[in-house]
Amino acid sequence: MDVVNIVVTGVGGQGLLTLARLLVESALAKGYDALAAETHGMSQRGGSVIVHVRIGKEVLAPTIPPGFADYILSTELMEAVRNCIYARKDTIVVVNTKIIYPALPGIVEHVSEDEVLKWLKQHIERLYPIPASSIAESLGAPQSTNMVILGAASALLKDYIDLGYLEKAVLKVGRGRLAELNLRAYLQGREIMCREYGVC
Amino acid sequence: MGLRDTLNMSSGKVVLLGNEAIARGAIEAGVALATAYPGTPSTEIVEALAEVARDVGIYVEWSVNEKVAFEIAYSAATAGTRSLVAMKHVGLNVAADPLMSSAYTGVEEGFVIVSADDPSMWSSQNEQDNRIYGLHAYIPVFEPNHPKEAKSLVKEAFEFSARMKHPVIFRSTTRISHTRVVVELESIRSPIRRGTYVKNPKRYVLVPAHARELRVEMLKRWEMISREISKVPLNRIEGEGRVLIVAPGISYAYVKEALRILRLEDKIKLLKLATPVPIPRDMVLKAVEDVEKILVVEELEPVVEQQLKNLLFDEGIRVVVRGKDLVGYPYEMTVDRALKAIAKFLNMSFSMPEPAATQLPKYVFPRPPQLCPGCPYRPLFYVLRKQVDILTSKKGREREPIFCGDIGCYTLGINPPFRVQDTCICMGASIGFANGFARVVHDRIPIAIIGDSTFYHAGIPPLINAVYNNNPLLVIILDNKTTAMTGHQPHPGVGITAMGEQTKAIDLEALVKALGIEWVKVIDPFRVKEAEKTIAEALEYVERERKPAVIISRRLCALVALRRALKAGYERVTYRVSEDKCRGCSVCYSLFACPAIRQKSLEDRRAYIDPELCTGCGVCADICPFNAIVLSKQIDRDEWLKFWS
């Protein structure tokens, strides 16, 4: 392994910076060098967000060049498509099946989620669609969608991150009931990955 | 473990945001005072210092603007206190006046000016390269080659400044400031302060007679700085070869990676530059020995390239220097940009990996940032657009007011359906522009839209100007009691300091009245009907009386309100659509345009409220013509909304 490149993407407000931070910390716990390049300010108000996460023995550049992503983790369906510019055919994509529409009346065309997933399947060999929003909502924690995606991705990334550390760190995101819900969301993400795709 | 605990540790390997690493470096260097006005990408530096200010015994404040922040840290350094001031790149324009003077007077203790630049303009109006300020003002510029080096370079900057008795600019960029990296902590030094003031008016009173002498002294100091800067340990020559690449700042990390991809790591000589201004003369001359050609890879302006060319010319060294012609000017560095430049420079070919898709499907919509669900700006903009449409339907479109915007979340009002930003230039320019339009555009009323924090920062002088010169305009101050866009820092109107102390909150109405504004009204944007009436009245007043008027629109930022509610143990309140009552008129998602509300499906025009996004402000329920929007559960609305005031 030289450097593992993970594009973390979704909509501003979905907790992408937290997701990326947990990846970097659990990579450090595994003994690796790691970084996450974020953008703040304007981009965080419901806009497209991308965080570049890189793990390796020594990580140099902060950002991932187009075509160099090994993984794309997306908490929203359309953002996965948008960020396919970072992907090759063999890039692994873990994606929430929900589309969030921006409030741009008259500009945004509605499209079915199945159609978008079909396009992704045609271009990405290893695609893992996860109904993360539905899972989080059924737990009564719609804000924990990011944790479902993190849980689902964790099994794929276990060579680069310390899973024991990650689980403890997830429990420290938020307080009280919220922290417990986050952990449940994370574990459900892990479970669905194991059950549906045999990645355990 | 929270940030406060991490920053208090004396050793260990931890993950820190680049800005937090800069803060930690300042603590390890013995900083005793730090000031800032928030601005992306600089904000977290002073925010992190405020977290631990009491623990480590330093003074930290949010100042009213960058000029004041600069003057406080500068004066402290002239009184023997190790000081830091941080700001975004354009903030240094506001502070440029004291900046220029600081090089003339010098300082008594370490004084580091952090300028966080924003190549690619992720959250800024321009991508100016503040290394040029270093050349302009005769102030050395330090710039890390990797976010990991930020901490140790801050310490170098303080030592250098203290030794030279001269200010130092520490230049960061978005990719330094906002990259989270693994950092090795070192011991914390106790804050360095003298605590007494030794008068020296010959140095610190810049009357012409003194300034002329100080100018000559400064140039002498600059010569010494140019020699000493070669000794900064993070500057170094790496590898050997007849080809030299000069890589200042973060470009170094991208160049290293590109060389690794091209398998050229041990064939090229690399000059790693952590001090782009002035370039370290002796080290550069050593690096160019026996070199056939040179490539400078740097972001934005050719700051190092031009200094290098000057030096080589003066020394009579004839060697080809390439730079901006291959690298280009705009936007931040990337690995592929460095790859292309290096390959062209060496006449090599290389291929990028085959992308998964060369064309994205047409239905991929744009997703610009937008006002949050529950944002108090949305109902205000909704009302403003409605009143302006009523006005123009009577008087014609060419009478539509000019919306003079400013810097803050409200700039997002440019998007449809509101379209209430016609200009956005810099901090405070909304009212400045409105003053100008009031004098030259007679058929349109100028409406300045400015946030509370921005108003305190730069809005007061142009409002005084409107009173003084009797310029007819309407100012709407959006008073959400925080600096929202940068992550909710308190400001003079809030009643709390950076270090969490209670303080006097400025009385905004009294202030505006004291400036001489005769027509001032406060509105609650959640009370849509009243807000409509007040805006109509204000426009009529300005037109009739030809005088300035001010509306203060007051409601807390939705994110702050939600945080307060959750902290108080409340569960989030949401609204839902009563489907038998909804007739699909689309007012809530087309005209009010809350991101939490959308059309139910392709075929069904009725509204749907997403519980993942709704924050329970309830304004949509008020504007729904069919009373079809209702609370999801029984709760007293006023009890919930008390968190928003």
Q: How far apart are CA A14 and CA A75, in angstroms?
A: 7
Residue of A nearest to B368 (CA): A47
**Residue B415 with chain A: CB contacts under 8 Å:** 104
The pLDDT of residue A107 is 79
Task: Give me the half-sphere count of Cα atoms (radius 13 Å) on the Cβ side of residue A46.
Answer: 24
| Residue B401 buriedness (CB in 10 A; 0-12 / 13-18 / 19+) | buried
Task: Note the pLDDT of residue A42.
Answer: 62
Q: Is the pLDDT of residue A41 over 80?
A: no
Residue A33 has pLDDT above 80, yes or no: yes
pLDDT of residue B524: 97
- Rounded to a whole number of angstroms, the distance from the CA of A198 to the nearest CA of chain B is 24
Residues of A in contact with B424 (CB under 8 A): none
| Ordered domains of chain B (ranges, CATH) | 3-230 (3.40.50.970), 235-356 (3.40.50.920), 377-555 (3.40.50.970), 570-644 (3.30.70.20)
pLDDT for res A171: 94
CB proximity A34 to B under 8 Å: yes
Only one residue has tokens 């992704």, namely A120
Q: Closest residue of A to B351, CA-based?
A: A67
Chain B closest-CA separation from residue A191 CA (Å): 23
Rounded CA gap, A6 and A35, in Å? 10
Question: What CA–CA distances, in Å, run from B146 to B11, B175, B181, B247?
Answer: 21, 9, 9, 11
**Beta-bridge partner residues of B294:** B244, B321
Q: What is the dihedral of CA B319, B325, B330, B334, to 10 degrees?
A: -70
pLDDT band at B601 (very low <50, low <70, confident <90, very high): confident
Q: What pLDDT is recorded for position B398? A: 95
Do B602 and A105 make contact, defined as CB atoms within 8 angstroms? Answer: no
Is there a contact between B306 and B314 (Cβ–Cβ < 8 Å)?
A: no
Quote the distance between the C-alpha of residue B318 and its chain's center. 42
Neighboring chain B residues of A40 at a CB cutoff of 8 Å: 40-41, 43, 122-123, 178, 487
Per-residue pLDDT band at A90 (split at 50, 70, 90): very high
State the best of A104, A139, A166, A181 to mutate against chain B, taking most chain B CBs within 10 Å.
A104
The answer to whether the CB of A45 falls within 8 A of the CB of A66 is no
What's the rounded Cα separation, in Å, for the pair B17 and B45?
9
Q: Name the one residue in this structure whose structure tokens are 């959308």.
A: B598
Q: What is the pLDDT confidence band of residue A103, given thresholds at 50, 70 and 90?
A: confident
Q: What is the mean pLDDT of residues B291-298?
A: 98
User: Cβ separation of A33 and B487 shorter than 8 Å?
Assistant: no
Q: Mean pLDDT throughout A133-157?
A: 95
> Span A132-159, mean pLDDT?
95
Q: Name every residue whose Cβ is closer than 8 Å to that of residue A23 and which is 6 or more positions away in sequence.
A: A6, A8, A34, A36, A53, A55, A150, A157, A161
Q: What is the pTM of this model?
A: 0.97
**Which of B163, B162, B165 lies closest to B32 in space, CA to CA?**
B162
Q: Which of A59, A69, A178, A77 is nearest to A128 (CA)?
A: A77
Q: Which residues of B are annotated as a binding site?
A: 582, 585, 588, 594, 614, 617, 620, 624
Residue A2, helix vs strand vs coil: coil
DSSP code of B353? P
Mutate one of A16, A48, A63 to test the B interface: name it (highest B CB count within 10 A): A63
Task: Select from B345, B325, B276, B310 the least CA-distant residue to B131.
Answer: B276
Do the interacting molecules here have an ipTM over 0.95? yes
Tell me: pLDDT of A40 over 90. Answer: no
Question: What is the pLDDT averaged over residues B216-228?
Answer: 97
Q: Is the pLDDT of residue A104 over 90?
A: no
- Closest approach of chain A CAs to the CA of B517, in angstroms? 33
pLDDT of amino acid A176 = 81
- Give the least confident one: A104-113, B309-318, B422-431: A104-113
Does the beta carbon of A104 lie under 8 angstroms from any beta carbon of chain B?
yes
Residue B483 reports pLDDT greater than 90: yes
Mean pLDDT across A121-138: 97
Pick the residue of B149, B179, B381 with the most A CBs within 10 A to test the interface with A by mutation. Answer: B179
Q: Which one-letter amino acid corresponds to residue A42?
A: M
Backbone angles phi, psi at B295, to 5 degrees: -120, 130
pLDDT at residue A1 is higher than 60: no
All structural domains of chain A: 3-100+109-195 (3.40.920.10)
Does residue B49 have a pLDDT over 80? yes
Structure tokens at B185: 């902590």
Mean pLDDT of chain B: 96
Q: What is the pLDDT of residues B104-150, one digit of tens each?
A: 999 999 999 999 999 999 999 999 999 999 999 999 999 999 999 99
pLDDT in tens, B223-247: 999 999 999 999 999 999 999 999 9
- Inter-chain CB pairs, A–B, below 8 Å: 201
Helix axes A163-170, A176-197, angle to 10 degrees: 140
CA-nearest of B425, B452, B419 to B437 is B425
A181 has a chain B CB within 8 A of its CB: no
